[in-house]
Structure 1
Amino acid sequence: MKKLLAAALLLTSTASAETVATGDMGVVIERATGSVLLVDQSERAALARIEGFGDLSHASLVYSPDERFAYIFGRDGGLTKLDITTRQIVNRVMQSGNAIGGAISDDGKLVAVSNYEPGGVRVFDADTLELVLDIPTGGKTIGLVDAPGRRFVFTVWDTGETWIADLTEAEPQITRIPDMGDRPYDALITANGRTYITGLFGEDGMTALDLWDENPEPIRVLPNYGRGQEEMPVYKMPHLEGWALTGTEFVLPAVGHHEVLWVDADTLEETARTKTHGQPVFAMARPDGRQVWVNFAHPLNDTIQVIDSVSKEIIHQFQPGPAVLHMEFTPRGHEVWLSVRDAGKIMVYDTRTFEKLREIDAESPSGIFFTARAHRTGL
């Protein structure tokens, strides 16, 4: 009788429990208020505002493999773990004085944070947020990404070195690669985890590493191109994680120039250039690769241009509003969400017709992060 009663109670409890699916969700950073907005893609709606994240003026986040937890990296050095199913902060640590993003290991067990002050990278247990490893670098670290095999790759602004931290064993293995260039400011890793590319602020060109090589060495990319040719003012540094890969070509925002560059993904040789409305910040590919959407630095940051990746020509231009800071495509690319900071809006557009589908109120929105990122290397 007791077993039957227990089974009946279990069935009743299971039937009445609310099912929360995370695959349609996303988190929007509200940079001015230290809050985030939980959103639903299919409903094109805000679900909840959660507060208490500190300084989000330059914030990013990563997701746990099951899409339940978001790890939010604040500019003030705060690392906050958010449970998006309960809509609550479950843990928060102040791990440095000034942080610049982070990454999660491919197995979802470790979260690493890149720091300006005191510099270096700190690695935490993803479950408890207890410190696992402190990696001093002697300088500001940028371009921190995850790589296959429980590795983190990052670069040091001050020394021009890229470090590879392999954490598969109890004793971490650190590889340091010098001569990456003068003042690397950001980096990306390709979705297959093979190519790591840093952008250089102090000299023309970029630098790549082939992470499939047992002993990766710097590979110069576009060595004769950059801000040094004309010494143009740079109003905002491009975000390299927003670089696009369309078929066999990268599309890169040019530092200080009103154009994007097309680069062969295999040879890393330039193939074309497209003139743009202003200095590009993000050049992001629709998931099928057919379109590249570009936003721009101040004072031309009210405009979006859409480039066809076959013709490499601009096929659409419009002005969503003042200060378009970020773009995020739905996983299959039928829609794109834009954060329009100074309008206090998130705007949703159809990527085929370019029709505006919805506006969502938000407090100074910036980064938009859908949970599909949980399954992609480097995001």
Structure 2
Amino acid sequence: MKLNSIRKPLAGMALLALLAGCQTSPEALRGTGDLGVIVERATGSLAVVDTSQRRVLERVEGLGDLSHASVKFSRDTRYAFVFGRDGGLSKVDLLTGNITARVMQSGNSIGGAISQDGRLVAVANYEPGGVKIFGSENLELVADIPATWLDEKGREQRSKVVGLVDAPGNHFVYSLFEAGEIHLVDMNGEAPEVTRFTDVGENPYDALIDPSGRYYIAGLFGEDGLALLDLWHTEAGVQRILPDYGRGDERLPVYKMPHLEGWAMAGNEAWLPAVGRHEVLIADKDDWSLTERIPVHGQPIFVMSRPDERQVWVSFAHPDNDVVQVIDSETRDIVATLSPGKAVLHMEFTPRGEHVWISARDSDRVTVYDTHTLEEITRLESESPSGIFFTPRAHRIGL
């Protein structure tokens, strides 16, 4: 055997040994699919969690005012984009716990969205009213779109932006609260192309996009009903649906407007929280007619379906917000009334729905339930927890 034929394998083995000695620690070499974050609003921090082991991995601080914060994830699920109420936009590395980029982009903001291709991050702003769009890599400003409109005297005004979502084809959709408009933004050209839909209803306050990315639905604060934009047929304009949404024989005080992003889509039905009523409403998605009302514990805030759509979980507004109820979507029966803690704010299912995590702000804890047995599995300590967000959201439209 020639000497050279021995040296080559030995050299390769030595190189592998050298590389093995330089490898990152096993803790850092992990996937991100079972990671998530809990917003801790009192301390301006995120608790990074492992949903498989159901534990807090670390905390990321210095994120500003998180009193109404929301979180989106990069398409590789390594980074969390945190939208603070104070106008701060932060990019957080979930594996290292570092803030890799941060910009104070407005005086008051209310959430955001990431484009279909993952390149752009859009932020909805109250003050000044408008949408700013940033590159997801380093948060450099790409576009600044003011939310302007003309009042009854023909004067140009700025409107608060609400209900910002991503839509297929690298589009963003949002509503203008004071203007009563819906705007569709196409980000495929050199500059944003904005299509305006006017007179959609009085004071749209929140919105959702359905899981297929076809229907954008805005709730109306100033009147009953909802405004629907079919993104497959934008030439048809905005349609009014559920004109009796929120009505009943007796109107109750509204302690908190329900979150439309918490709607449940189960089969061909939409389950939605009634406004000012102790009811969950069911609508037929074919014609958006109201088909059923289910009496519940209080005024619903989130009405969310388990991923397999067999259960619908409901949280409530003050003063009934220490309870969560579970409805069987087939029988319409309430199968459980749970007590996760005081001031329940948010719920998040694991991707296949075997567990649900529920934040209780005033109890300083997150409770994890088995969704089949409906039994408590564990509790995690967290200071004033609010929103809970898991990384599989990165691959779902509107989340």
TM-score where L is the length of structure 1: 0.97
Equivalence for 2:22: 13
Q: Any conservation in 1 of the 2:251–2:277 contact (CA below 8 Å)?
A: no
Distance in structure 1 (CA, Å) of the matches to 2:216 and 2:257:
18
Of residues 94, 104, 111 in structure 2, which corresponds to 1:101?
A: 111
Distance in structure 2 (CA, Å) of the matches to 1:63 and 1:136:
25
Partner secondary structure for residue 373 of structure 1:
helix
Q: Considering only CA atoms, is the larger Rg found in Structure 1 or Structure 2?
A: 2
Equivalence for 2:296: 276
**2:80 is the alignment partner of 1:70:** yes
Equivalence for 1:132: 142
Of residues 38, 45, 48 in structure 1, which corresponds to 2:48?
A: 38
Q: Any conservation in 1 of the 2:354–2:370 contact (CA below 8 Å)?
A: yes
Q: How far off is 1:57 after superposition?
A: 0.3
Distance in structure 1 (CA, Å) of the matches to 2:25 and 2:47:
27
Q: Any conservation in 2 of the 1:301–1:324 contact (CA below 8 Å)?
A: yes
Q: How far off is 1:267 after superposition?
A: 1.5
Equivalence for 2:155: none
Equivalence for 1:296: 316
Partner secondary structure for residue 235 of structure 2:
coil
Q: Quote the sequence identity (%).
A: 58
**2:98 is the alignment partner of 1:88:** yes
Matches within 5 A, 1:1-379: 4=12, 8-14=17-23, 18-137=28-147, 138-226=158-246, 230-379=250-399
Q: How far off is 1:8 after superposition?
A: 4.5
Q: How far off is 1:171 after superposition?
A: 2.5
Partner secondary structure for residue 215 of structure 1:
helix
Distance in structure 2 (CA, Å) of the matches to 1:290 and 1:219:
30
Q: Any conservation in 2 of the 1:144–1:187 contact (CA below 8 Å)?
A: yes
Distance in structure 2 (CA, Å) of the matches to 1:225 and 1:53:
37
Q: How far off is 1:225 after superposition?
A: 3.0
Q: Any conservation in 1 of the 2:123–2:132 contact (CA below 8 Å)?
A: yes
Give the direction of change, closer, same or farther, for the CA distance of 1:205–1:11 in structure 2 (3 Å limit).
same
Distance in structure 2 (CA, Å) of the matches to 1:15 and 1:256:
54
Per-residue displacement from partner, 1:200-242 (whole Å, max 9, x unpaired)? 1100111111101142411111112325974532111111111
Q: How far off is 1:118 after superposition?
A: 0.6
Q: How far off is 1:65 after superposition?
A: 0.3
Q: Which amino acid is 1:73 matched to? A: F
Q: Which amino acid is 1:32 matched to? A: A
Of 13-22 and 247-256, more deviation after overlay is shown by: 13-22
Per-residue displacement from partner, 1:160-197 (whole Å, max 9, x unpaired)? 10000000111221100112111111000011100010
Distance in structure 2 (CA, Å) of the matches to 1:141 and 1:216:
23
* Structure 1: gaps spanning 5 or more residues: none
- The number of residue pairs the alignment matches comes to 379
Distance in structure 2 (CA, Å) of the matches to 1:214 and 1:360:
45
Q: Any conservation in 1 of the 2:299–2:316 contact (CA below 8 Å)?
A: yes
Q: Which amino acid is 1:236 matched to? A: K
Per-residue displacement from partner, 1:62-88 (whole Å, max 9, x unpaired)? 000000000000000000100001111
Per-residue displacement from partner, 1:300-354 (whole Å, max 9, x unpaired)? 1000111111122211112221101100000000110000111100100001111
Q: How far off is 1:271 after superposition?
A: 1.4
Partner secondary structure for residue 56 of structure 2:
strand
Distance in structure 1 (CA, Å) of the matches to 2:312 and 2:351:
15
Q: Any conservation in 2 of the 1:203–1:228 contact (CA below 8 Å)?
A: no
Distance in structure 2 (CA, Å) of the matches to 1:231 and 1:293:
24
Distance in structure 1 (CA, Å) of the matches to 2:146 and 2:332:
43
Give the direction of change, closer, same or farther, for the CA distance of 1:344–1:130 in structure 2 (3 Å limit).
same
TM-score where L is the length of structure 2: 0.92
Q: Any conservation in 2 of the 1:74–1:101 contact (CA below 8 Å)?
A: yes
* Two-structure CA RMSD over aligned residues (Å): 1.6
Q: Which amino acid is 1:279 matched to? A: Q
* Structure 2: gaps spanning 5 or more residues: 1-6, 148-157
